Structure 1
Amino acid sequence: MIESEDINKVEIRSEEYQEILGAPPNWLLRAGISVILLVFIILLIGSWFFKYPDVLNSQVVILTEDPPVQLKAYSSGKLTHIFYSENQSVQKDSIVAVIENTANLDDIIFISSILDTLTNIEYFPNNIDLNLGELQQSWSGLVRIISSHRNFIELDYFEKKNESLSSQIDFYNKYYFGLLNQIQIMEKENELSLIQFERDKSLFQDGAIAKLDFEKSEQTYLQQKRNYENSKTSLINTQMQINQLRQQILDNSIQKTNELKTYEIQIEEALQSFKSQLAKWRQSYLLISPIVGRASFNKIWFENQAISQGDLVVTIIPKDVMKIIGKADIPSTGIGKVKSGQTVNIKLDNYPYMEFGMIKAKIKNISLVPITTEQGIFYTAEIEFNDSILKTNYNKSIPFSQNMSGTAEIITDDIRLLERFLNPLRSIWTDKIK
């Protein structure tokens, strides 16, 4: 009996529930739709106002504007000389160390100083005994050409030859003017001889003189005329000889100038060749500091220690404290988001950011041309720091050392959440239209 009543109650209630579920009230439907619409509008408005940036990670190196200079070995051998110790001051162009070679270092230094200050080849020291090792052949060639040039100048062959020719010209000039005076006299004599001949001719025609006397008068006139013409010819020949001698002087002067020019060209070529080989030798065997700074040896180097080509022997730390900057290699993917002035969070490798914090900085500029490496294509960005010292967001100061490495988090411009939802849809829609 009880079971029958319970079954009836369940059936009655089930019918009531089914009636409610089967036909929900209109107010409930309107309320539900309104709530859903309100939530959607709130999310839509919120996605418009809510913005956050992308973060690009890259490797960064912290250094100064005037970075340290690494002096590496360009050849293998022993370190025959080390002129500085750890942290010792080094002057610009100072020789820090010497790698084993066959030349005498003092001779190399001597000849380098001569070439740096040489203004006139006349003062070139060619009569000295030098041991320049593998530069000896080039040096001997230079000395040989300079010696030939000096002998040419000291002998002065063409000048002496021209002096002799000038003396001959002086002699011929005197002979010329003497001959010219004789011709002037002979010209008068020739005129008188002609007058006498004409007179005797007239007398012969009149029968006043014998034919033999007339022939003698004619012979005298012709002899006088022949001598006159011969003297004129000698005068012309003398002038021609003078002109030839003057031409020889001019030719000798031109030849002397050409030979001097040839010597100058040969000396310049030999000198430049020797300077080039000397520079190559200095690069191969001398470690020279290009800046003023302090020597920092990367290993405990000592004289007669063997080194290999490419070994880093010493680093020259600049003396003056320069502005601290950072160099970050940014992957080409997403480089369009990076702009000057954007914030950069730097996490140093040697100082865990969970303990020491991050260093705030900004992008100063970005290289216009990328570099290609085995890891990919990168753009170089210069990073500037707000302070002259490295201070983290935990207010901790980090002691600076050259070439500190770390990770740079570049904070790009904020993008609305709504745009992040719509951008993929817009891309899909654009692709479909195309």
Structure 2
Amino acid sequence: LHAIDSAADELGMADWVRATLHQPERSLAVQVPYRADDGAIRVVPGYRVAHSMARGPAKGGTRFHMDVTATEVAGLATLMSVKTAVVDLPLGGGKGGITVDPKQLSETELESLTRSYTRAIAGSIGPDLDIPAPDVNTGQRHMDWMADEFGRVTGRPQPGVVTGKSIAAGGSLGRDTATAAGCRTVVIASARRMELPADARVVIQGFGNAGAHLAAMLAADGFRVVGVSDSRGAIHDPRGLDIGAVAATKAAHGSVIHHDAELIAPEDLLALDCEILVPAALEGAIDAAEAERVRARLIAEAANGPVTDRADAILHDRQIAVVPDVLASAGGVIVSCFEWQQNQREERWSARYVADRLEQRMQHSLDDLWAVAAARDLDLRTAAMVLGVGRIAAAIEERHGLDVARELAS
């Protein structure tokens, strides 16, 4: 809410619009019973929050984790509203989750849990209302189960009720590389704008789905990826790593640390001499101490919330440009929107068409972001909040403004 208030202050927002943004349009807490393998029925709490539907149906992931709370889900739904607005999608923001440790459940128990959750929230989701997607500890199989169960509840197949489905169940081509591809566009365009070398050195923290794909893409584009890490350690080669070989090593041995390169401490990865740093792993990975050591000129946040507030202030003071996660990691939600549109139109787009539309959307959004930052003399993170919140506020005013004006006049 602090970030929204700061953006509202910058925009000179009316009090009633600010108050609207402070609370979700709809918040649902449900009981989720599921059948355990021993035959017992267990019950866990679940949630689904739609923060704003002023710009379109709510959109956001569904996570399975023991730390899920109503407060966390509401906060994440708010961030999704901003993210979809920053990239100008015809969607609002939502989030959902179940307070459970999925690692303790069998495949049968997970399916029972997911289908039960879908039945519990079925009245609050739908292709024109609220569209869940994968998040922490959920993926294609969970979305396939949700789509199937929603079809059973409503009596007709509606694949557009969720995104992130398997291709066979109506998913979109390009979804598996969407976050990396979107971040690639941000890195290339920002590096060009900042006049960084064509073979700029890149460090990527995290070699999971997004990080590994991004490393391969940037290497193919001519950048030198000089450092990468995963949960077990970090490696460095100032000449540039052979990303294909690194990926093969990780696939064969479980970690990048077995690759033939200099093994370094994970905390030293962020301090490597480079032009571009991409945190693609954990939330809060760059704290104040790490921010003082960063040597990159550009940071692109492929992970969600990788820079703490204090670190962000330090990076700003050091004039290190940070493209925030609401844009840099938005490739996933953009292609999710494409999947929803394909389902609604009963179309199937080619991988090339999806990739081209994603690149165009990311480029236009980045141009909008830099323009707001320049016009208002703001850092990119603050500019992103102003851009996103401003678009949501404009939709709220168009949707409700006349009614509010009548109430104030009466």
The interval holding the TM-score normalised by the smaller chain is under 0.3
Which structure features the higher share of strand residues? 1
Pick 1 or 2: higher relative contact order, CA cutoff 8 A, min separation 6.
1
Question: TM-score normalised to the size of structure 1?
Answer: 0.19
Question: TM-score normalised to the size of structure 2?
Answer: 0.19
